[in-house]
Structure 1
Amino acid sequence: MTENLFNNDTLMEESIEEEVEDVNEWFHFQIQGKIYMTFILIIASLGVVGNVMSFILMSDAKLRSLAYSVYLRWMAVSDSLLLMMVTTEDTLDTYNYLQRFLVSHVTLCKMWTFFLAMTYTLSPWLVVALTLDRFVCVVFPLSRHRLCTTSKAFKLCLTLTLISAALNVVSLIYLDIEDGECIPSDNLHLSRYLVFQQLFLNSILPCVAVLILNIVTVSRIRRSAYFRQQFKRSGSSEATKERQDKITLPLLLVSIFAFVTLIPRAVTEFTEYVLGVLQEHDGMTMELANKLWPVFNVIYLVNFAQNFYILMASSSEYRLIFRQKLTCHHKDNRNTSSAQTQSSRMSSELSKISVFKMADSRPVTSGDTTLYSSSSMSSSPVTELGI
């Protein structure tokens, strides 16, 4: 009986090795090492610059009073923090400095993991909030002015941030430095919670919510456009509705591309988790997932870097506002420099005038006699020294 079990295990291991070799034979494309780091650095650099530009764009007076600008500005801050931390972590990991950096102090270990995990949770749900805002504006237009306000958007973003922090507070409690690594304590319930959070709260649930809301919103926009074509009338209401659709479509693209970039890594992690739970030793699937994970992780990070570029590519109005903002900023700089030049010129002229006045009122000594300037000669007598 024991020999049969041993032979079965040996055959299973050999089949797994054969499957892995089959994967290596046909799957030649792989991102790793310096190639992977190059992609990460490019995405992070472009993403942080784009997020800064997005924050500036949404701070414009024309957009600052709109609810969705609050979501995009909050996303710009959260996404930039995530990109910078992921880039730092991957860079240190590539050069084998990551564990040395994280284990330098237990407080650094906990705070770093906490903020990174919090942004991983927060950013997808901010996309859900933006999608929900567009859903309300399109599906319930009469409630738009009551529900889609900047104050409610700010409160929702703040609530999502606090919930994300609360969900990841376990990083501050259960993380510790063990055997030279920054890892959570060995607890079965904690491990299950972290898996649930990573798979469902950070990936699957946001993707499902974004997908459902976008399907309903896009179908309503298409139906609205169809009715406008069938019963088109010249009026301000129709023009206003078309302008709202033009504003909504770029924001929907932000949401749709977020779903596209989030879903590959979510599916991969879910597949690995299911195989692990079912204890299915599918060597080919696991090896393929390991090879594809860096590619999907790169695609996943694109989600945190793409918003500004989507807005610029899809909307002429946003391009015009951003161009005007840059032009005004350039003019303000030129006006400031010209004002500084004029003030320096005036100050130099005033100094010259004061020097000339001092020269006119200065006494001139000749021999034993002190003479005053011609301006004071009529009122002051000539005084001779020694008399």
Structure 2
Amino acid sequence: MFVRRQTELPNMTMMDSANWTSDMTNATAGHPCQGTKLEVFSLQFVCDVIIATPLVILGIFANAVAFIVLCRQKNRMTTTVLLQALAVCDTLVLVSILLLRCLVNIHLLAGTDTLTTYINVYYAGVFVYLFPVMYFLRLADTWLTTLLTIDRYIAVCHPLHVHRLCTLPRAYKNMAIVTALALVFSAPRFFERRLADTCFRFGPTSLLRNHTYTIAYQVVLFSIVMYIVPMSLLVGMNGRLLWELRRANNFRATLPMTSQTGRQMMSTKKSITLIVVAVVVVCIACNLTAVVSHLFWSLATCFPSFMYLEVPRRRLAHVSNVMVTLNSAVNFFIYCLFSRNFRTEFVRVFCCRRLRRSYGASTVSGRSAEATQLSSMCSACGKRSSAASANSVICRTCSLRTSGLASFQQSAKNKNGARYERARC
């Protein structure tokens, strides 16, 4: 009843939750507890338990902290709101990974038959309903990252349209649209499998047995919506953002910067752009293995001559699971690395009073050093003069000093005053 053809295997590129074996006649085909027993230190155990489990726990905690810190930001920007949504989606992805991958394979540490039986029941009940949710969350996460990149691309490359396109109501509306479309696209996944008569068995429905559905939806449409379109947008806009950052740095180097407030505003905008660029780079890098794994599965599904790719695909899928977990767990550290405001708010919210005091003092001293550096810049040419004093606003190249300029202005004032008195007389 539950016999499956090899060409009808579902795409497990993102999670590869079914570890498919050559014997596909069992209703629990691919369950980690069935078929050949996995070695404790096999690739699957190392990836799903030893590496992924600590990453999941760390990532859930880090995303929760990042969400709290982002909510405490004083400036409510569209980028901040999108980062909050991304933190929530990443947390849900990590929770689903914990339930689908880590807890299912952790029984290998004990290896008792009783625990294995409980895992069988748990896996069958959870997999049928949670695996489609995983596809939905992964798709929503990818398009939220794309939406974040589009928002920053408009702010950097088209600043005249920011007030019209990058507003909070529009950001909430775009997030709702992306989430709804991701749910609609993932809806067929909920009808691919069903529970069998026994309590710990599941099998494919007639929809999943349909070869046309497999080719059209799982191969073609999924490749376009999940990988080709968003990755192309991310690569193109991220490259443009990097080019704009480099051009802005070169342009600012040629201009005088005497205003500390203006310098801080530019630094804040630069840090926000760097955060978005780093998040996108990590997303692209972590999804490369998933793209290759999905390509291998698509070739093996569409062309029987490529069936030899199924074995390396399974191995690559385990590595892909770790990379997906890493992608959802590292954003907090990116924020800490590139944003001083995020670090300051994090210390203010979560650290003790003594550490807050010491960190605040170091921040103030750093800003004072920046102010001193700004005060030694020439207001005429914008270049820093090593020979000029801290109170000098004109460099030697311009042949004027603050004292000389002040005396010149005073003498001119006296002369004008004398002329005024003579004219009055």
Q: Structure 1 length normalisation: TM-score?
A: 0.69
The ranges of structure 1 where at least 4 consecutive aligned residues each deviate by more than 4 angstroms after the TM superposition are 96-99, 235-239, 327-330
What is the aligned partner in structure 2 of residue 41 from structure 1? 53
Is 1:167 equivalent to 2:191 in the alignment? Answer: no
Q: Distance in 1 between the 2:133 and 2:300 partners? A: 30
> What percent identity do the matched residue pairs reach?
22
Q: Distance in 1 between the 2:351 and 2:124 partners? A: 48
Contact 1:89 1:98 in 2 (8 A): no
What is the aligned partner in structure 2 of residue 222 from structure 1? 246
Q: Distance in 2 between the 1:227 and 1:143 partners? A: 22
Tell me the CA shift for residue 253 of structure 1.
0.8
Q: Which amino acid is the alignment partner of residue 161 of structure 1?
A: T
Q: Distance in 1 between the 2:212 and 2:274 partners? A: 43
Structure 2 unaligned spans of 5+: 1-40, 108-115, 355-425
What is the aligned partner in structure 2 of residue 188 from structure 1? 211
Tell me the CA shift for residue 150 of structure 1.
1.9
Tell me the CA shift for residue 45 of structure 1.
0.3
Is 1:177 equivalent to 2:202 in the alignment? Answer: no
Structure 1 unaligned spans of 5+: 1-28, 331-387
What is the aligned partner in structure 2 of residue 137 from structure 1? 155
**What SS does the corresponding residue of 1:176 show, helix, strand or coil?**
strand
RMSD: 2.8
Tell me the CA shift for residue 286 of structure 1.
4.4
What is the aligned partner in structure 2 of residue 380 from structure 1? none
Which of 277, 291, 295 is matched with 1:270 structurally?
Answer: 295
Which of 254, 264, 270 is matched with 2:279 structurally?
Answer: 254
Greater mean alpha carbon deviation, residues 129-138 or residues 71-80? 71-80
Contact 1:103 1:109 in 2 (8 A): yes
What is the aligned partner in structure 1 of residue 93 from structure 2? 82
Contact 1:110 1:171 in 2 (8 A): no
Greater helix content: 1
Tell me the CA shift for residue 228 of structure 1.
1.9
Q: Which amino acid is the alignment partner of residue 60 of structure 1?
A: R
- CA distances 1:237-281 after superposition (whole Å, capped 9, x unpaired): 565334311222122211211111112221222133235434334
Q: Which amino acid is the alignment partner of residue 177 of structure 1?
A: L
Q: Distance in 2 between the 1:205 and 1:66 partners? A: 26
Q: Distance in 2 between the 1:204 and 1:183 partners? A: 28
What is the aligned partner in structure 1 of residue 333 from structure 2? 309
Tell me the CA shift for residue 327 of structure 1.
5.1
Is 1:212 equivalent to 2:230 in the alignment? Answer: no
Q: Which amino acid is the alignment partner of residue 218 of structure 1?
A: L
Q: Distance in 2 between the 1:173 and 1:32 partners? A: 27
* Structure exhibiting the larger radius of gyration computed from Cα positions: 1
Contact 2:128 2:195 in 1 (8 A): no
Contact 1:110 1:176 in 2 (8 A): yes
What is the aligned partner in structure 2 of residue 292 from structure 1? 316
Tell me the CA shift for residue 99 of structure 1.
5.1
Q: Distance in 1 between the 2:161 and 2:98 partners? A: 42
Q: Distance in 1 between the 2:288 and 2:310 partners? A: 18
**What SS does the corresponding residue of 1:62 show, helix, strand or coil?**
coil
Q: Distance in 1 between the 2:203 and 2:329 partners? A: 28
- CA distances 1:137-158 after superposition (whole Å, capped 9, x unpaired): 1001122222222221111111
Q: Distance in 2 between the 1:111 and 1:275 partners? A: 26
- CA distances 1:119-142 after superposition (whole Å, capped 9, x unpaired): 021111111111111111100112
Tell me the CA shift for residue 34 of structure 1.
5.0
Cα distance change of structure 1 residues 314 and 184 upon mapping to structure 2, 3 Å threshold: farther
Q: Which amino acid is the alignment partner of residue 226 of structure 1?
A: N
What is the aligned partner in structure 2 of residue 26 from structure 1? none
Is 1:123 equivalent to 2:141 in the alignment? Answer: yes
Q: Distance in 1 between the 2:243 and 2:63 partners? A: 30
Alignment length, in residue pairs?
A: 298
Q: Distance in 1 between the 2:312 and 2:127 partners? A: 32
Contact 1:109 1:182 in 2 (8 A): no
Q: Distance in 2 between the 1:281 and 1:194 partners? A: 17
Tell me the CA shift for residue 56 of structure 1.
0.2
Q: Distance in 2 between the 1:115 and 1:224 partners? A: 42
